Homo-oligomer: A and B are copies of this chain.
Amino acid sequence: MSRITRIETADVRFPTSLGLDGSDAMNPDPDYSAAYVIVRTDASDGLSGHASAFTIGRGNDVEVAAIRSVAELLVGYDAEALLDDMGATWRLLVHDSHLRWLGPEKGVMHMAIGAVVNALWDLKAKRAGLPLWQLLSRMSPEELVALVDFRYLTDAITPAEALDLLRATEPGRAGREAELLGDGYPAYTTTPGWLGYSDEKLDRLCREAVADGFGQIKLKVGASLDDDIRRLRIARAAVGEGFPIAVDANQRWDVADAIEWIRALAEFDLHWVEEPTSPDDVLGHATIARAIAPIPVATGEHAHNRVIFKQLLQSQAIGVMQIDAARVAGVNENVANLLLAAKFGVPVCPHAGGVGLCEAVQHLSMFDFVAVSGTWQDRVIEYVDHLHEHFTTPVVIERGRYRAPLAPGAGTEMRSESIAAYTWTGHPKLAEVAGA
């Protein structure tokens, strides 16, 4: 038996705003940041669990405070008891009545719980000597169902339905695992499309994306219709007819504006339209989806929990579901999200980029392929070539596909040198806001 002995946190901020990497219609100057947590035990294996919540700068200290407040509740706990029943562990944290009041199940506190849950999964996978996707893919349907809290989901999927679904794909697991290990998982790239890039850089990066073997690109839109048309024209010329181009408005529009704007871009054969409006607006997304069909609506990086995903699916508001590794309450809630998507037959194409999101979500998509949906048809993982060098097991992209990671763990461990070098010590300056 071992005990949780110590929780360490770090406020890590990368100065990405300097190069306008990550700039979009709503986020002009992000400093990609990680509210980082390490869970340590007194086990002789010396293993620790690492994960983080992703933020874009100011407020990362608040996220760290929230993580500390959640994680400290676990100090002294029997580590095996926590790790052996991750379903119960998830409920312990998410249903703490006091912490629930601060959401419930949304925002800073839910992201903090997610980071702690993910750190425990990282530890569990390291102890098992397996990458997270493989650990999950080798759990029985019953074990997987036990990870999920079906509260508020049963009008869309019951535990029995989830079990049937997992059992139906169980026979093909071994074959798909071999396929995945051989071929990797399809990726698309957002690298060309940041709003702050020049037309020349856009053109060059689009051509590089195709040359590098990516099967899809994505452009940020929504700040200026004229700019969007000009940039889409450049991108379309660079990648050629028929090559999938998705666009991402980052919540910029009201419902009617979204419909009008997207129709004005119709000539560019959009592959999907991402985050057209408020991530809370299920009915608005459904209205937009009906109006712009057959162009699918995609959203999810800000969908704060499984209840929002449930409704997006129930209302046929999304044709592409974009789970995020660090927004909801960790791996368990994303297992719920994958089950919901499989039930409704909607492909999951995770949000990535940020700090370590590519490293994290690849495990979820690979698990989905092997053990849940059983397919990668119409599915791609986002790829952005930022900040991977700061992770101990960075993603490997070959010919536009994620190689299946083999290192034990969840991929969420940052290099200690990077943590030390980018730990933030400053304070928000008036000028930062006054200029906004």
Contact = CB atoms under 8 A, between A and B. Distances in A.
Contacts of A107: 102-103, 106-110, 304
21 contacts: A26-B97, A31-B98, A55-B102, A56-B98, A57-B101, A58-B96, A59-B102, A62-B69, A75-B430, A95-B436, A96-B436, A103-B108, A104-B251, A106-B107, A107-B110, A151-B278, A155-B256, A280-B307, A281-B307, A282-B282, A282-B283
Interface stretch (A168-176, A220-228, A308-316, A398-406): A308-316
A155 B280 contact: no
Contacts of A283: 282, 311, 314-315
A56 B101 CA distance: 7
Contacts of A155: 254-256, 284, 287
A291 to B, nearest CB: 11
Given A107-B106, A280-B105, A280-B308, A59 B154 contact: no
Interface in A222-268: 251, 254-256
Interface string A87-122: 000001001111111111111111110000000000
Identical chains bound together, number: 2
Contacts of A287: 155
Contact of A104 (B99, B279, B436): B279
Interface of A: 26-31, 55-59, 61-63, 65-66, 69, 72-73, 75-77, 92, 95-112, 151-155, 251, 254-256, 277-284, 287, 302, 304-305, 307-308, 310-311, 314-315, 427-428, 430, 433, 436
Contacts of A277: 152
Minimum-distance CB pairs A-B, first 9: A107-B107, A108-B108, A58-B98, A155-B255, A57-B98, A152-B278, A280-B307, A65-B65, A56-B101
A90 to B, nearest CB: 14
- For A77, A97, A112, A308, the residue with the greatest tally of chain B CB atoms inside 10 Å of its CB is A97
B59 A62 contact: no
Contacts of A59: 66, 69, 98-99, 101-102, 109
Contact of A73 (B62, B69, B98, B428): B428
A97 B28 contact: yes
Nearest to A303: B280
Given A59-B99, A280-B311, 16 more contacts: A27-B97, A27-B101, A58-B96, A62-B102, A72-B428, A92-B433, A95-B436, A97-B436, A103-B108, A104-B302, A106-B106, A151-B254, A152-B278, A152-B281, A283-B311, A284-B311
Contacts of A152: 254, 277-278, 280-281, 284
Given A154-B256, A155-B254, A282-B311, A304 B106 contact: yes
A240 to B, nearest CB: 34
A154 B255 contact: yes
Nearest to A27: B97
Contacts of A101: 27, 30, 55-57, 59
Contacts of A154: 254-256
A311 B427 CA distance: 38
Contact of A109 (B56, B62, B436): B62
Contact of A108 (B62, B151, B255): B62
Contacts of A153: 254
- For A63, A76, A107, A280, the residue with the greatest tally of chain B CB atoms inside 10 Å of its CB is A280
A28 B73 CA distance: 18
B433 A106 contact: no
Nearest to A310: B281
Nearest to A315: B283
A255 B153 CA distance: 9
Contacts of A76: 430
A106 B65 contact: no
Given A152-B281, A287-B155, A433 B96 contact: yes
Nearest to A283: B311
Contacts of A428: 69, 72-73
A434 to B, nearest CB: 8
